[in-house]
Copies of this chain bind each other. A is one copy, B any other.
Amino acid sequence: MSIVSNISPLAPKNFPIMHSISGVRFATANAGIKSGDSEDATLILLEPETVIAGLFTSSMMRSAPVIDCQNKIGINVENTGAAIIVNSGNANAFTGRQGELAVREIIAELSTRVQIPVERIFSSSTGVIGELLEYQKIINVFDYLVDSLHVSKIENAARAIMTTDTFPKGSSVKVSSSGGKITISGIAKGSGMIAPNMGTMLVYIFTDALIDKNDLQSIVSDLNEETFNCITVDSDTSTSDTLLVSATGKSGIQVNKNDLDFREGLRKVMLDLAHQVVCDGEGASKFIEVSVTGAVDRKEAKLHATSIANSPLVKTAVAGEDPNWGRIVMAIGKSGASADRDKLSIRLGDILVAEDGWVSPHYKESDGAAYMKRQRLNLNVDLGIGTGSAKVWTCDLTDRYIEINADYRS
């Protein structure tokens, strides 16, 4: 089987205009880790006083760089610069002591080149699991990377961190805070092994806001619950997921965890990137928002929404443009959360499909069939038994997913 490198039909038309963030510079290079001749090494340099918040995969098989990052998020000191070094093409996961050695070597070498203590250097690796990372190849491009750092190169970074992604993912906003304008820009990669239980991908977000580190971590953790933790492509959780949010403070505008403008701006960037990851779901042809209301509580609403969003039978029905709402009923039934057949209602967009325990008397199959031809679908369920609600985003399951994943390493 050969993979044609198609761009997802759900990709945005253009990479967005990215506001640069004072205090953050990017460089990319081709280190020869990823097959082909595309760039696969990214260096991000952050100026002194930058605070960094992070969230990581919940996998018990966390990769060596993830474990290293987690140890550092708690102890990093802000008076020095900081750096993020990323490679694509190899996840350095399940590579034993050799994998840990690779992380130490990369970070020690970079520490010397950029004169930043090892505690302030974060690394990520993404790609194949279980193969030794040839870290010397990455070290070999350090000189080139350091020499080519520039504040404008965030799009190059968005491209260099891609693996099976078909388009680079970026999002950028300006926030009017009480103290003045704050800028937030972020990039992400991810298209397979995407499921709740953390960022489930690599995400790097930057802002020039001046904020206390604990406040930043608190906001990021909150927002993660309603953005990256609410998307799923295939229910598989990566060993490498990393979300780092860096605040350089260069705007001089102070915010704290109660600042609603800053929180809303960061939420927009995180949600936009999360949606873009879904839009690049392996083989995706449709973007699906599953919205559940009227559940016992938010937790139960999310159980139902996730059960629908992860159901292979729902996802293949969407792929086939089949308004097979019986499969939504099935997914509600198996979720493990409470439901009452005679109280729930199901809508495809605004079209009422089912209520009072059966198909709605006004529903026409032709209306449902027409709705399913859309590229962006809303599957709406109201359980009618409480006030809990949740949204989860996913894509359809197509034969292209099989094609990509039955042949990933060949």
Determine the distance from Cα of A331 to Cα of B311 in the docked complex, in whole angstroms. 17
- Give the distance in Å from the alpha carbon of A238 to the alpha carbon of B310 in the complex: 15
User: Chain B contacts of A195 at CB under 8 A?
Assistant: 334
When distances are taken between beta carbons in the complex, the residues of chain B under 8 Å from A6 are none
- In angstroms, Cα B214 to Cα A130, docked, is 51
A236 on the interface (CB 8 Å rule)?
Answer: yes
Kindly provide the distance from the CB of A89 to the nearest chain B CB, expressed in whole angstroms.
13
A410 within 8 A of B: yes
Number of copies: 2
Contact with B along A313-343 (1 / 0, CB 8 A): 1001101101011110111111101110110
Q: Please, how many angstroms separate the alpha-carbon atoms of A408 and B91 in the complex? A: 38
Q: Is A354 an interface residue (CB 8 A)?
A: yes
B399 close to A357 (CB less than 8 A)? no
A131: which B residues are within 8 A, CB to CB?
Answer: 326, 359
* Complex: chain B residue closest to A91, CB-CB: B326
Q: Count residues of A near B (Cβ-Cβ below 8 Å).
A: 71
The proximity string for A residues 383-410 relative to B, scoring 1 for CB distances below 8 Å and 0 otherwise, is: 0000000000000011101110111111
Would you call A252 an interface residue if the criterion is a C-beta within 8 Å of the partner chain's C-beta atoms? no
Q: Chain A 340-366 against B: per-residue CB contact (8 Å), 1 yes, 0 no?
A: 011000000000001011110000000
SS class, residues of chain A in contact with chain B: loop
Contact of A61 among B99, B322, B339, B406 (CB under 8 A): B339
Does A294 count as interface, using CB distance less than 8 angstroms?
no
Residues of B within 8 A of A128 (CB): 326
Interface pair B130/A354, CB less than 8 Å apart: yes
Confirm or deny: A312 has a beta carbon within 8 angstroms of a beta carbon on chain B: yes
Nearest residue (CB) in B for A342 is B96
Can you give 21 A-B contacts (C-beta < 8 A)?
A60-B334, A60-B337, A60-B339, A61-B341, A91-B326, A96-B358, A129-B326, A131-B326, A131-B359, A197-B334, A235-B235, A236-B312, A236-B313, A236-B330, A238-B330, A316-B401, A319-B402, A320-B410, A324-B408, A399-B399, A399-B403
Q: Which 5 A-B pairs have the closest CB atoms?
A: A320-B406, A129-B326, A61-B333, A96-B358, A59-B333
